[in-house]
Amino acid sequence: MINPSLKKQIFMAQKPTDNILLITLSNIGDAIMTTPVMAALHKKYPRAVMDIVTDARASEIFSHCPYRGKVYLKHKQAGWRGLLTLVRQLRTTRYDLVVDLRTDGLTQLLRARRRLTRRGSQAAGVHAVQRHFGVIRVREQITDLPPTCLWLSQAERTFAHRQLAALPGKRCLALGPGGRWAPKRWPATAFRALVERLQAQFDAVLLLGDLADVDSCRQVARQTVLPCINLAGDTSLLQAAALLQQATLFVGNDSGLGHLAAACRTPTLTVFGPGDPARYHPWQPQARWLQSDSGNIADVPVEAVATAVRELQGMM
């Protein structure tokens, strides 16, 4: 005679999974590092619609995902009232599967047939992508870890092509000198010196960032030895990704731009200050990083970055 609890588990496993809720992270880079979980779940459940909980800043990443359903925004500043509003919205649907990569608490308040959280997960390695994947790896019996991914529209690709058409040559070095925290910003003088050392390897420079990065990009744009286009503050998130997709290589600080570039399969070099590069570097085979022994980002030598860029080019 079959144990009743085992019988229930067998029934639940046989029932189709048609609607999934993924609770992802807030920052752009963190959200991109959850896209392998999305891709793996879509591969296993190709007909399922996937609703997403994220923050407003990262929500654009999922705009063109073909299997995305509704996007629910979690507002950090809204406190418990905002959380209650979010729970009420989510409880209008009974999900076949809820995957929470953010917090173990929210899932218990939702209507779901199955729930997967970080508690009890088995990470496949130290990197954040591997830790996120560990939430589903064993419990969903998924062994293949997909790369990070982005979904771009033709309009965004056309925008990028038109912006770069004015630059000479085809070898475009994209730079991301900005960052929201000063200790994570490599000096603008170092970026300018890097361009000088790499002027034989590239034809032009592209500077990217959001409105908070305008000043950092202006400082780099001054007196560059290569033709330069500065689009800091003038693109949407996905327009920046489309530009990075057409760039030859990206060099930047530890920020969302590096993860965008990696998701677009553009070779990427990240200059780290404080932080844990082994856990948070952009996730793709052609991604490299440098960090000084002191942890002070200003101590990362320009020549070491230039050498790493040339090595990456040699692999292309």
* pLDDT tens figures, 160-201: 999 999 899 899 999 999 988 899 999 999 999 999 999 999
Same domain, 169 and 304: yes
Same domain, 160 and 308: yes
| 203 inside domain | yes
Q: What is the DSSP string of 142-156?
A: ----PPP-----HHH
Same domain, 281 and 180: yes
Q: What angle do CA 22, 129, 66 make, to 5 degrees?
A: 45
Same domain, 93 and 227: no
pLDDT of residue 165: 93
Determine which helix (DSSP H) or strand (DSSP E) holds 287, and give its type and residue range. Answer: strand 287-291
| 2 inside domain | no
pLDDT of residue 278: 94
pLDDT of residue 6: 46
Same domain, 73 and 159: no
| 73 inside domain | yes
| 30 inside domain | yes
Same domain, 96 and 34: yes
Show the domain range for 222: 154-315
Instruction: Quick: pLDDT tens for 2-48.
Output: 555 544 454 455 577 899 999 998 889 999 999 999 999 999 999 99
- Number of domains comprising the chain: 2
Same domain, 130 and 229: no
pLDDT of residue 316: 67
Same domain, 158 and 299: yes
| 80 inside domain | yes
Nearest C-alpha neighbor of 50 from the set 73, 23, 75: 23
| 142 inside domain | no
Which structure tokens are listed for 40? 């793996």
| 6 inside domain | no
Same domain, 180 and 124: no
Phi, then psi, of 259 in degrees rounded to 5: -70, -35
Same domain, 107 and 239: no
SS3 185: coil
| 149 inside domain | no
pLDDT of residue 4: 52
- For residues 299 and 91, what is the distance between their CA atoms, to the nearest angstrom? 51
**CA dihedral of residues 147, 102, 77, 176 (deg, nearest 10):** -20
CATH number of the domain to which 29 belongs: 3.40.50.2000
Which structure tokens are listed for 292? 């000084």
pLDDT of residue 268: 97
Same domain, 256 and 121: no
pLDDT of residue 180: 85
Low-confidence ranges of the chain (pLDDT < 50): 1, 6-8, 10-11
Last residue of a domain, one of 137, 172, 192: 137
- For residues 152 and 234, what is the distance between their CA atoms, to the nearest angstrom? 18
Same domain, 180 and 301: yes
SS3 36: helix
